Amino acid sequence: HAAEAHRTDLMTITRHVLNEQSKHPESRGDFTILLSHIVLGCKFVCSAVSKAGLAKLIGLAGETNVQGEEQKKLDVLSNEVFVKALVSSGRTCILVSEEDEEATFVEPSTRGRYIVAFDPLDGSSNIDCGVSIGTIFGIYLVKDKDNPTLDDVLRPGKHMLAAGYCMYGSSCTLVLSTGNGVNGFTLDPSLGEFILTHPDIKIPKKGKIYSVNEGNAKNWDEATAKYVENCKFPKDGSSPKSLRYIGSMVADVHRTLLYGGIFMYPADKKSPNGKLRVLYEVFPMSYLMEQAGGQAFTGKQRALDLVPNKIHERSPVFLGSYDDVQDIKELYAAGS
Ligand code: AHG
Ligand code: MN
Ligand code: MN
Ligand code: MN
């Protein structure tokens, strides 16, 4: 009967979050409504990504974003879908997107208490060749709903209420934490529902994989160079680590979360703050890693303690298995 019960006792993401929120007596279901709109956006992008090749949705949109990147058609489309879904939820007051130069302040009549920083489509360089891409989001609560300001956003990531990502790969997987651990949900296309498939994800304490763009090795600082050297030529007689680098942060982080190991986008001489953006890449993934028992480091401090000054600010990041990140922290502490 257990199998039968399992098949009919569908633990959807909505039901799971309702259970979580029931622990917060003050919550009035607003978070659940917000999340259902994020889920709607993910379902839309999942369907658009799977049809991209057929629906002439690949290739460039002919615009460039504030990052100086050429926007792909899917970058623009997914951004529009998420902005519209989040505004229409009536639960948001500020939106920060990789694809919009300025933050969006929702007008008072449809304003809610939540702030969402998001990367609508992460790994855009991989769209046209069919490699996994994703959406990343982080959620904050506004301090004063009647006066939302950028100060509500330019805060340390440790103040986030929730964070997650959706990966559009062989299956559509949404990984979420609302502060009580990390859970993974897989989209069942026949139901159009995200079903709990990875309850209470914990990252292995140590891993056998390192993930970094070795093409930047010439410009790395000494601590990063030494750490990567140790991965390839261990001094303690252990076997070398494997290198896995997909080039989509969501895919590299998802593998790191499930298999263990370390994902790095270090500073280099050309980009002293690395490449990844604090609010909608570094913070959400660092939050998830800590919730799963791992850690996240910027080269100088705990990633979630960083205070961003601009909404598109970048930071170096080293995240993953607790022991692996500890090793590189010690190399930076030694001032090597
Ligand atoms: P985005 O597509 O949202 O701009 O993000 C791309 C990021 C991230 O997904 C990935 O980890 C990183 O770019 C890869 O950068 P490199 O190609 O420089 O390694
Ligand atoms: Mn981009
Ligand atoms: Mn990205
Ligand atoms: Mn992006």
* pLDDT reported for residue 153: 96
Ligand 1 pocket, mutate which of 136, 249, 318, 319 (most atoms under 8 A from CB):
249
**Residue located nearest, by CA, to atom 6 of ligand 1:** 123
Q: What are the CA-CA distances from residue 67 to residues 100, 120, 308 (Å)?
A: 10, 14, 16
Whole-number Å distance, alpha carbon 117 to ligand 3 midpoint, is: 12
Ligand nearest to the CA of residue 69, numbered in listed order? 2
What whole-number distance in Å separates Cα of residue 34 and Cα of residue 11? 19
* pLDDT reported for residue 68: 83
Paired tokens of 30? 């607003």
Phi, psi values for residue 85, rounded to 5°? -65, -40
Whole-number Å distance, alpha carbon 182 to ligand 2 midpoint, is: 26
Ligand 1 pocket, mutate which of 66, 98, 122 (most atoms under 8 A from CB):
122
* Cβ pair 299, 332 in contact under 8 A: yes
Paired tokens of 238? 């252990």
Using CA of residue 31, residue 33, residue 36, residue 41, what is the dihedral sign?
Answer: negative
CB-based contacts of 70, cutoff 8 Å, min separation 6: 60, 61, 63, 64
Whole-number Å distance, alpha carbon 118 to ligand 1 midpoint, is: 14
Ligand nearest to the CA of residue 249, numbered in listed order? 1
Whole-number Å distance, alpha carbon 9 to ligand 2 midpoint, is: 39
Strands 209-211 and 70-72, by their bridges, are unpaired
* Terminal alpha carbon distance of the chain: 59
- Only one residue has tokens 């007008």, namely 107
Phi, psi values for residue 335, rounded to 5°? 65, 20
ipTM exceeding cut-off 0.95 for this assembly? yes
Whole-number Å distance, alpha carbon 232 to ligand 2 midpoint, is: 30
Calculate the CA dihedral of residues 146, 151, 153, 155 and round it to 10 degrees: -130
pTM of the full structure: 0.95
**Residue located nearest, by CA, to atom 2 of ligand 1:** 123
What whole-number distance in Å separates Cα of residue 235 and Cα of residue 73? 47
Per-residue pLDDT of the chain (336 residues; tens, 9 = 90+): 555 555 788 899 999 998 888 877 777 789 999 999 999 999 999 999 988 777 777 777 778 888 888 888 899 999 999 999 999 999 999 999 999 999 999 999 999 999 999 999 999 999 889 999 999 999 999 999 999 999 999 999 999 999 999 999 999 999 999 999 999 999 999 999 999 999 999 999 999 999 999 999 999 999 999 999 999 999 999 999 999 999 999 999 999 999 999 999 999 998 999 999 999 999 999 999 999 999 999 999 999 999 999 999 999 999 999 999 999 999 999 985
One-letter amino acid of 72: K
* pLDDT reported for residue 336: 58
CB-based contacts of 197, cutoff 8 Å, min separation 6: 173, 184, 185, 186
Residues facing 183 on adjacent strands: 176
Ligand nearest to the CA of residue 121, numbered in listed order? 4
